[in-house]
Structure 1
Amino acid sequence: MNVQSNDRVLLSRYLSGDRSAISQLIERHSRRVRDYIRMLVKDRDVAEDIFQETFIKAVRVIDEGRYCDNGKFLSWILRIAHNQVIDHFRAQRQDKSVTEAEAGYDLLGSLRLAEKTVEDEIVSRQIESDVRMLIEMLPPEQREVVMMRYFGGQSFKEIAKQTGVSINTALGRMRYALINLRRMIKEKNLVLC
């Protein structure tokens, strides 16, 4: 019996009243989900909170009868985790600006090798702000692929699996995102170097 079948059996048992089945289902996927969240947030305590929230939300959706079992429980739970991470960063951004380290990516990594002057810092912050603004202007599907690929370090295979699309669709979304970013940079006469 494959993992997807086992997931279906456990979900069915849980919905039939076997409360231990949900614990088994969570345990089966906990390492993968926890590792994914930690990769994005880089803080063990925050990652653990998001991990708990992810499964609380998943159980709530299942209990409310809104989960559609298409044999892709892991992809579904990873999507919830991803959304929880995004919600975490949005909440942080409302409190204060999110630094690159907190967001789990290094936008200007090549510049970190040298000592920065005050001027370099100002330019770096402006470039980061401009790039974030442009990414926020992308259509949601394109923005998601950019975030997962460049800031989450995921392969297109992983992106396709987590977003529920084919690899070609994920690649296409990235291609259109890059085209749109180049167009916006040109339209706004931005210099990103």
Structure 2
Amino acid sequence: MNTQPDSRLISEYRSGSEKALAILIERHQKDLFSFIFYKLMDEDLANDIFQDTFMKIIVTLKEGRYNEEGKFILWAKRIAHNLIIDHFRLKAKQVKVSETSYENDEFSIFDLLAGKEENIEERLISQQIKDDLTRMLVYLPENQQEVIKLRFFDGLSFKEIADHTGSSINTTLGRVRYALINLRKIMEEHRIILTR
């Protein structure tokens, strides 16, 4: 069993060690999943929030935005808690709003759109972001393009994507994770800045 502290694993992951991330996920997945599940009491939804939480963690670590204050698991639970709140807000809003609900959900993982209520200007910017992302997708391998479209444009859950593509949830998560990492690289290479 790996006894390295979380901070060391985070540092190794930032330096390019995928194994360090795997150890970090394995170490905390039971605690984090239980935390999410007992708030939702729905296994499929808990799985989706769990996967989204780790994707948000991955993006934050890759961008070097994680600060070492406090314990990693408490930070991870805070992210999960915020995603759960977002889910319930979105659910409440879907009664009143059309497809823009998915648009907001889609970009929440990129930390691009802070507010849930958008005015006309914000909606135009959201559309611009969507157009930029669509253009960037062509640089991804086909299987990554497919999962990104299904997840962020069509709003499918990880389980639905896994069923749709005939893959396991782990494979689906891996593809989405690598697609997000690749999108970040593409943004840097092509100097594309997605902003509010």
TM-score by length of 1: 0.46
TM-score by length of 2: 0.46
Larger radius of gyration: 1
